[in-house]
Amino acid sequence: MKKEYEIVIEIMNACAGSGRPEVNMEEAELENPDDFVKMKHGRDWDKVQKTILPSGEIQYILSSERITYKYIFSE
Q: What is the CATH number of the domain that holds 21?
A: 3.10.50
SS3 67: strand
The number of distinct structural domains making up the chain is 1
Instruction: Find out whether 39 and 46 touch, Cβ atoms under 8 Å.
Output: no
Based on C-alpha coordinates, what's the Rg of the chain? 13
* pTM score: 0.90
Over residues 11-39, mean pLDDT: 88
32 pLDDT more than 80:
yes
SS3 1: coil
Residue range of the domain that includes 37:
3-74
> According to the model, what pLDDT value does residue 16 have?
59
Over residues 54-58, mean pLDDT: 97
